[in-house]
Structure 1
Amino acid sequence: MSTLRIVLVDDHPIVRSGFRQLLELEPGWEVIAEVGSAQELAAWMLHSTCDVLVLDLSLPDGDGLVMLRHLLAQRPDLAIVVLTMHDGALYVQDAIAAGARGFVTKSSAPDELVDAIRAVGRGETYLGTDVRDFEADGMQEGHSELPELTEREAQVFLLLARGHSVARVAATVGINAKTAYAHRTNIYTKLRLTSDYELRLLAMKRGLIGRA
């Protein structure tokens, strides 16, 4: 039986250590690397490869969605499972749209990550039990948190709320800066906003981001 090679990407060593112990209980599974930052991940990927990469979206030196796109542009067959504290529908949609094959929240039971890795290792897609309702409710057809906005505008809204510049929003979503600015203008108009500060306040009020 061939070994399933796994890489854990999270900036908390205790989190990586705990999941490593769990995953290596599975026959034929090996965690071949633990990575704590986007910079470390980029350096590791230059000379190494794996079968499944478990990726935290919130690294101190890089945006998880940008990393997803860059990694898959270089290695389209790489199976990536997102492991994150965020459980909103917009986060799930953005991750899957960026190319993740699995999405598990850190509030899930530990066995959920095992199930996710097993599924993506077979070439399937896996959503954790606490976020599956988003897909069942038609995640691609609209967002209950932002009913005023289109699907793309809702994506842009969330990225702006997380503190991204318009240029970074464009790179993350895969659109040009002019289009990103147009989306921001439409968001401001529809939601009667005048600044990104007001946008972040609204995002907090609707439970899309945590309070600082």
Structure 2
Amino acid sequence: MINVGILDERPIVRAGLELFLAEDRELAFAGHTGDAEDARRLVRDQGIDVLVCALQSSVDVIMATRAESPDLAVLVLSDGPAEELLLKAIRMGAKGHLQTNARRADFLDAIRTVAGGRTYLSASLAEELISGEPAAKAPHEALSEREFQVFMKMAQGKTAGDVSKELSLSIKTVATYRSRVMEKMQLTSNSDLTYYAMKNRLIE
């Protein structure tokens, strides 16, 4: 049995991943939290084998648990493409990376992989780590994590008001992010975003 914990500040993400785990008899859900310090206690008290950890907290958690839980496998979770913080987490000892919108089968496979002592990485991230140079990037990979969040929601047909509520941003801020996305990706409309996301298999 593999004991799995979850660290993410978003309750909806924690709940969704917990449901994924509940359907698999080989994985045991050991608890979740939105606080990095509480995650350290969770790892220590619950005998966690794999901690699925939001990118923003990953480096702090790895540093805090390295001495007392050297066998802990940290699987980093992020919404967007590879960025410097993710590369730093991997180099410090995180065992893998998965995007928040990954399929259930990929999520469970990633957990089993890192629990077995192996590394779970995308081909593009592996290339960056090996070469030390960024791999050739698709337009959406130039987006920041927040820009990528806005992009994905609008590509799924969400309005600016929807995005504002779901990401706790003002509509003006959402509009600013949308403009940046359009400029970086050289697109002109929300339908362009949807077409791009479908063509690149970011949504179905």
Alignment match, 2:126: 135
Correspondence for 2:54 among 50, 53, 56 = 56
Q: Matches of 1:73 and 1:41 in 2, distance apart?
A: 15
Distance 1:79 1:89, change over 3 A: same
User: Per residue, is there more helix in 1 or in 2?
Assistant: 2
State the alpha-carbon separation in 2 of the partners of residues 138 and 50 from structure 1.
Answer: 27
Counterpart secondary structure, 1:50: coil
- Taking structure 2 as the reference length, the TM-score comes to 0.60
Kept after mapping to 1: 8 A contact 2:78/2:100: yes
Q: Residues of 1 paired with 2:89 and 2:72: CA distance? A: 14
The one-letter code matched in structure 1 to 2:98 is V
Aligned residue-pair number: 141
Aligned residue number for residue 67 of structure 2: 73
Whichever residue aligns with residue 34 of structure 2, its letter is G
Separation in 2 of the partners of 1:136 and 1:122? Answer: 22
* Letter of the structure 2 residue corresponding to residue 142 of structure 1: E
1:29 pairs with 2:23:
no
Do the aligned partners of residues 23 and 96 (structure 1) sit closer, same or farther apart at CA in structure 2, a change above 3 Å counting? same
The answer to whether the 8 A contact 2:44-2:69 is kept is: no
Shift of 1:89: 4.5
How high is the sequence identity, in percent, across the aligned residues?
25
Structure 1 unpaired stretches of 5+: 146-203, 208-212
Contact 2:33 2:39 in 1 (8 A): yes
- CA shift digits 1:47-91 (9 cap, x unpaired): 332111111122xxxx42122122123211111111112422434
CA contact (8 A) 1:90 1:143 kept: no
- Cα distance change, pair 139–44 in 1 and its aligned pair in 2 (3 A): same
- CA distance in 2 between counterparts of 1:68 and 1:140 reads 24
Query: For residue 133 of structure 2, what is the amino acid of its counterpart?
Result: G
